[in-house]
Amino acid sequence: MGLRQFGRARLLLLGGVASVLVLAALYGPGRGSQPLVLFFSPWRIEKQLYKLDLSWPKFPELFTGQTFCVAVDHIHGLVYVGQRGDHVPKVLVFSEEGYLLQAWNTTLEMPHGIFALNTANDSSVWITDVGTGEYGHTIKQYSPSGKLLQVLGIPGVAGSGTNPVQFDQPAEIYVEHTGDIYVVDGDGGMNNRLLKLTEDLKTLWLRGENGSGTAQFRIPHSVTVDSFGRVWVADRGNQRIQAFDKTTGEWLGSWSDCFVEDGPYSVRLTADEKYMITAQLNIDRVLILAAPPVGSIGDCVVVDTIQLAARVRPHLLDISMKSGAVYVAEIGAQQVQKYVPLD
Ligand SMILES: *[C@@H]1O[C@H](CO)[C@@H](O)[C@H](O)[C@H]1NC(C)=O
Ligand SMILES: *[C@@H]1O[C@H](CO)[C@@H](O)[C@H](O)[C@H]1NC(C)=O
Ligand SMILES: *[C@@H]1O[C@H](CO)[C@@H](O)[C@H](O)[C@H]1NC(C)=O
């Protein structure tokens, strides 16, 4: 353990160097006779928004596998962690205070994405399984104590069907309080699509195919829905985030300027919907973007970054809707770390 945050100064320095290069390109020799090109920079960093909470969890040695995903049930103060590996429990349940409460080990091969649904009457955990064995290519719904409630997809069979619905390495799921389900499928398999399903698994709409055009995907990796009726997808391989209308599936826009160095791995919004937070695994960075108001998504704007140590490899993350804490699942460091908002 113990790979820690470092070097904000280094990042600011990089920003400075980039600005100088841009100025040089605009005003330097050879460009004098050309018309001035207006340069759009997505970087608007003003202050540090989060700090690492070194006291979470209390016993980091309890992480025993590769930690791929994390989900927060803010109503009950629980943090679910999905990990992979031989002879390790696949799900660890911590309290938001950092104590391990439970570990389960059922019917899961390779957890990829995890989602905690909590409403007044319902509390469950949904996990996508990208395993290729007898349980894989599915999404499972569990009770908070790990009882299997429902399986979406055909266990052990990769496919593209919609009746019944099938997946190939489903990457992540988002479930609305109405029961409607959004799935990004998948993490490198034959499908590159976003599906909206009813509670009883009828397909309402489906977008996407393999490609880099509008509303196409290359590894759609994470999905979330905002209160303005927009569905956000981390289109990892295309190094962009795309947004869709949740009712019609209509494409609303795309952000790519913020992802020149590495694609987005996650999409999550803060409770006030002011910020979108995403991980960039290959450059060990968490990026905090300004979330735009209702309607057109405009251009992306970076308002802060958290630079992690080399090879930490942040994969997926989740945000507590109560405390605002950001939990980051780090595959390389084999741990989940907690970042708390600074006032
Ligand atoms: C979990 O199950 C796997 C086999 O499915 C087994 O190898 C492993 O020992 C189990 N781990 C725990 C902690 O029970
Ligand atoms: C929760 O359950 C109660 C009792 O069954 C019911 O009256 C209420 O409408 C439900 N609330 C929601 C949000 O479904
Ligand atoms: C998607 O397209 C890319 C580029 O043409 C190709 O490398 C990749 O194998 C394709 N993936 C699938 C699942 O067809």
Q: Identify whether 283 is part of a domain.
A: yes
Q: Which ligand is nearest to the CA of 89?
A: 1
The CB density around residue 24, as the number of other CB atoms within 10 Å, is 11
Question: pLDDT 10s per residue in the chain (343 long)?
Answer: 334 443 343 344 444 444 444 444 444 344 444 445 556 688 898 899 999 999 999 999 999 999 999 999 999 999 999 999 999 999 999 999 999 999 998 789 999 999 999 887 789 999 999 999 999 999 999 999 999 999 999 999 999 999 999 999 999 999 999 999 999 999 999 999 999 999 999 999 999 999 999 999 999 999 999 999 999 999 999 999 999 999 999 999 999 999 999 999 999 999 999 999 999 999 999 999 999 988 889 999 999 999 999 999 999 999 999 999 999 999 999 999 999 999 7
Quote the domain boundaries for residue 89.
20-119+221-341
With respect to residue 131, please indicate whether it lies within any of the assigned structural domains.
no
The CATH number for 282's domain is 2.120.10
Q: pTM for the complete prediction?
A: 0.88
Confirm or reject: Cβ of 210 under 6 Å from ligand 3. Answer: yes
Residue 47 inside a domain? The answer is yes
Q: What is d(CA 206, CA 187) in angstroms, rounded to the nearest whole number?
A: 17
Determine if residue 286 is left, alpha or beta; phi over 0 gives left, psi from -120 to 50 gives alpha, anything else beta. beta
The closest ligand to the CA of 179 turns out to be 2
Which one-letter amino acid corresponds to residue 145? S
Is 194 domain-assigned? no
190 within ligand 3 shell (Cβ under 6 A): yes
Residue 77 in domain? yes
Q: Are 115 and 173 in contact (CB under 8 A)?
A: yes
CA distance 70 to 3: 18
Take atom 11 of ligand 3 and give the residue whose Cα is closest: 210
Residue 214 lies in a domain: no
Please tell me the total count of domains within the chain: 1
Does a structural domain hold residue 139? no
Q: What is the DSSP string of 71-99?
A: EEETTTTEEEEEEE-TTS-SEEEEETTS-
Asked if the structure places residue 204 within a domain, the reply is: no
